[in-house]
């Protein structure tokens, strides 16, 4: 499966690959490799991005949807703020870099661990 080479990559804050990634770094890399999109990278932590409201700069490029398709951004709340992003694989699964686990993993984004924290599902383009 295409995702095999993306599983188990070490987590590192501000990691942009290929040796390590944080959640945003992995999401951006997957967008580039899987969809040919070179998306805006604020080169800061998700906490700093939330504090600076950087999502407002990129929001016009994304559309909120009800169902995840491959490549959709899955935004999750951490401490009440949208601070974590996962790459939707389609269906119920996401590939993401987890600081808690310490590496990139595939998980069910509708699971009890993630489902209640889902802020929204977004696809690129109008």
Encode 48-77: b = buried (16+ Cβ within 10 Å), e = exposed: ebbeeeeeeeeeeebeeeeebebbbbbbbe
Residue of 16, 124, 1 lying closest to 71 (CA atoms): 124
Computed over every residue of the chain, the mean pLDDT equals 93
* CA pair distance 124, 46, nearest whole angstrom: 19
pLDDT at 55 over 90: no
| CB-based contact 41:29 (threshold 8 Å) | no
Q: Average pLDDT of 48-60?
A: 80
CATH code at position 13: 3.90.1720.10
Number of folded domains in the chain? Answer: 1
Within the chain, how many helices (H) and strands (E) appear?
A: 3, 6
- Cα separations in angstroms, 93 against 1, 12, 46, 106, 109: 14, 22, 21, 7, 6
The mean pLDDT of 31-50, rounded to a whole number, is 91
The domain of 38 spans 2-124
Tokens of 71: 């490549």
Q: What pLDDT digit, counting tens, does each position of 76-125 carry?
A: 998 888 889 999 999 999 999 999 999 999 999 999 999 999 999 999 98
pLDDT of residue 97: 98
Can you tell me the mean pLDDT for 7-31? 97
State phi, psi for 11 to the nearest 5 degrees.
-85, 135
The pLDDT score that the predictor gives to residue 126 is 61
The reported pTM is: 0.94
- With a cut of 80, say whether residue 69 has pLDDT above it: yes
């Amino acid at each position: 499966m295409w995702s095999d080479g993306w599983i188990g990559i070490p987590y590192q804050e501000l990691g942009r690959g290929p040796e390590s990634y944080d959640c945003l770094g992995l999401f951006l890399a997957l967008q580039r490799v899987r969809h040919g999109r070179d998306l805006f990278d604020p080169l800061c932590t998700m906490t700093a991005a939330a504090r600076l409201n950087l999502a407002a700069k990129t929001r016009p490029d994304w559309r909120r949807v009800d169902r995840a398709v491959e490549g959709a951004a899955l935004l999750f709340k951490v401490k009440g703020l949208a601070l974590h992003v996962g790459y939707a694989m389609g269906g119920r699964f996401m590939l993401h870099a987890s600081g808690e686990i310490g590496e990139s993993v595939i998980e069910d984004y509708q699971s009890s661990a993630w489902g209640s924290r889902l802020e929204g599902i977004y696809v690129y383009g109008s």
